[in-house]
Every structure is written in C-alpha cells, then in structure tokens.
Amino acid sequence: GAVVSQHPSRVICKSGTSVKIECRSLDFQATTMFWYRQFPKKSLMLMATSNEGSKATYEQGVEKDKFLINHASLTLSTLTVTSAHPEDSSFYICSARVRDVEAFFGQGTRLTVV
C-alpha cells in the first residue's frame, strides 16, 4: 500500500528558530497533500492544502508567513514553522490523497518549542 513518510517524528527547538518538517510519498505521486495540526485530546485541524507546483491553500486563521508550505515535487511537501514560539508546540501531521481517498497519513511530528 501507499506509504507516507514524515520526518522528524520529534523535534525540540528554541523559541525564535525555524523548524522544517518533511512529508514524502514513498511509492506513489501525491499531487495533493494536507497539513494538519492536532492539540492534545482534540481532533485534527486542517492548516493547509499543498498542491504540487503551486501555492498552498491555507485555512482561515492560519498564518501563511508563519507556516510556510512548499510542494516542489510530486513526492515531497514541506512545512516550515518560522520564528517558532511555545504556542506553536503541537502535533503536526501530513496526509496524501490517493485515488480520491484520504487514506495515508505520515507518522506525525511532535514539535516542542522551549
């Protein structure tokens, strides 16, 4: 089956620094990937839809300049959290749509900003 690999699984960074999270489709081409954020004991919150070769579509309330998304190839989308602050600490998850089904999620990245 299709596999989505997300890296890193955990990262701790200092306040004010930037962190890049990668999401790769390993055995298929993902023209569309999704980035989610999840708070403890809460459901997933869609942050943005990443389309290969074009600008990402951000959800209302998500800061484009803070959460930079790049989808430069059919197998890689990246999320960069810029100038991170403690309130950005969260669980970030990517997913890919394959044949009309949102079936494949990355492993998730636990970001802690200290």
Partner 1 sequence: GQNIDQPTEMTATEGAIVQINCTYQTSGFNGLFWYQQHAGEAPTFLSYNVLDGLEEKGRFSSFLSRSKGYSYLLLKELQMKDSASYLCAVRDSNYQLIWGAGTKLIIKP
d(Cα 8, Cα 84) in Å, to the nearest integer?
16
Taking the complex as a whole, the smallest distance from the CB of residue 35 to partner 1 amounts, in Å, to 12
Which residues, numbered 94-113, are part of the site for partner 1 (CB under 8 A)? 100-108, 110
- Closest of 36, 24, 33, 20 to residue 80, by C-alpha: 20
- Closest of 103, 44, 99, 94 to residue 71, by C-alpha: 94
Taking the complex as a whole, the smallest distance from the CB of residue 3 to partner 1 amounts, in Å, to 12
Binding residue (CB under 8 A) for partner 1 from 5, 11, 20, 44: 44
Residue found by looking up tokens 């197998």 in the block: 75
Residue 31 in contact with partner 1, rule: CB under 8 A = no
Residues that bind partner 1 (CB under 8 A): 6, 34, 42-46, 49, 91, 93, 100-108, 110
